[in-house]
Amino acid sequence: MSSRRRHSRHERAGEGISLSIVKRLAELLDATVEVTSGATHGMTFRILLPVFYADQR
């Protein structure tokens, strides 16, 4: 099995920063970030936000 990059490292350099921003925002919003990875379809990121109703606050 062989693998080939679709983007150079330079083109993808901002991904680590973006993920750290998402992580920080999730912490501030009391949210959860889930990551799944598959051999054929790449990675999927899900951000689960809590729902608060007006009478719960």
Q: Quick check: 32 pLDDT over 60?
A: yes
**Phi/psi of residue 44, each to 5°?**
-120, 130
Most confident of the ranges 7-11, 26-30, 38-42: 26-30
pLDDT of 39 reads 83
Q: What are the residue ranges spanned by the domains of the chain? A: 15-56
SS3 string, the chain, reads: CCCCCCCCCCCCCCHHHHHHHHHHHHHHCCCEEEEEEECCCEEEEEEECCCCCHHHC
As a whole number, the mean pLDDT across the chain is: 79
What are residue 38's DSSP bridge partners? 42
